[in-house]
Amino acid sequence: MSLDDIVAIDVHTHVHGSVHTSGRAPSQRLEAMQEYFGSDTAAADVHAMAAYYRERHMIAVAFTVDTYTVSGDDPVPSNEEIAELAAQHSDAVIPFASVDPGRGRAGVKMLHRLVTEHGMRGLKLHPNAQEFFPDDHSAYPLYESAQELGIPVLFHTGHTGVGAGERGGGRIRLKYSNPMAVDDVAVDFPDLAIVLAHPSFPWQDEALSVARHKPLVHIDLSGWSPKYFPPSLVQHANSILQDKVLFGSDFPLITPDRWLADFDLLDIKPDVRPKILKGNAARLLGLG
């Protein structure tokens, strides 16, 4: 499919399944997250995801989450598997790398290899799951590498469904995901494209402020049904941030079908709607 045939670009999807673990039952954490989101969508590997998005004339930005220094385990699926399978489905899937900042210099080398040898197009970070503050200078070499490679960095911000409802929140601490911590990153790396993922409850105004103030900071709308968006977010998306707001679902926990059905009910200007669904992401990702 050409970009003209694409109706939407979903900048936020997770690959929870692997071709090597196909048929296995979901993990307890994934089951808890499915319950939290009210989702009955099965975890999909990249093959299944590509078929799903291709059928809808959409493109998905897909990634895993690397929490090696917290969990002691490499991510499943691996970055390399996602990249390899995405290359087979380049019309429907764009792969982002996930590198735990706690890996230090090894993580910087890992990111460089994933981008230059495996074709990764961005970097996904999850401060809550990776247990770091975005403005911690120990993560700066990773941002420097991303800036040099010319790839965007997508930060989880705000509340998270990871660990929600589990005993002690599954040891996930919400303090790491205040979007104001990304403001320093935008100052210190002025040529780095940044995406603040999700409506950033309970720090929505902070996210809007950072995106308004810093030219290369964007906001994706994943992880929430649009019917729950706060009025301030809708107002900014319809006006001053109309070129910096991106469609994202959080597939498979929220499907694009569910998200788009609710988005259709929002009072979004006709000339803004295609920017959010496709145009802004196409420009950010250098498509077409």
Domain harbouring 59, CATH code: 3.20.20.140
Looking at residue 81, its amino acid is E
pLDDT (tens digit, 9 = 90+) per residue, 170-180? 999 999 999 99
What six digits make up the tokens of 52?
Answer: 């799903």
Mean of pLDDT values over 151-165: 93
Peptide bond into 26 cis (omega under 30): no
Q: What is the pLDDT of residue 42?
A: 56
Q: What is the pLDDT of residue 38?
A: 55
Q: What is the pLDDT of residue 141?
A: 98
Residue 25 has pLDDT above 60, yes or no: no
Q: Residue 151: which residues within 8 A CB-CB, separation 6 or more?
A: 115, 120, 121, 122, 123, 193
Sign of CA dihedral 130, 136, 141, 142: positive
* Mean pLDDT of the residues in the chain: 92
Residues of the domain holding 43: 3-285
pLDDT (tens digit, 9 = 90+) per residue, 57-107? 999 999 999 999 999 999 999 999 999 999 999 999 999 999 999 999 999
Taking the model in full, what pTM does it have? 0.92
Q: How far is CA 107 from the centre of its chain?
A: 19
- What residues does 60 pair with on adjacent strands? 10, 93
Look at the block and give the residue holding tokens 């993990």. 27
pLDDT (tens digit, 9 = 90+) per residue, 202-247? 999 999 999 999 999 999 999 999 999 999 999 999 999 999 999 9
Q: Residue 68: which residues within 8 A CB-CB, separation 6 or more?
A: 74, 75, 100, 102, 103
Task: Quote the number of domains for the chain.
Answer: 1
Residue 111 has pLDDT above 60, yes or no: yes
> What 3-state class would DSSP assign to 2?
coil
- What residues does 13 pair with on adjacent strands? 62, 251
Q: What is the pLDDT of residue 165?
A: 83
What's the Cα-to-Cα distance from 63 to each of 11, 34, 77, 152, rounded to whole Å? 10, 18, 9, 13
Q: What is the pLDDT of residue 184?
A: 98
Residue 20 has pLDDT above 80, yes or no: no
Residue 24 has pLDDT above 70, yes or no: no
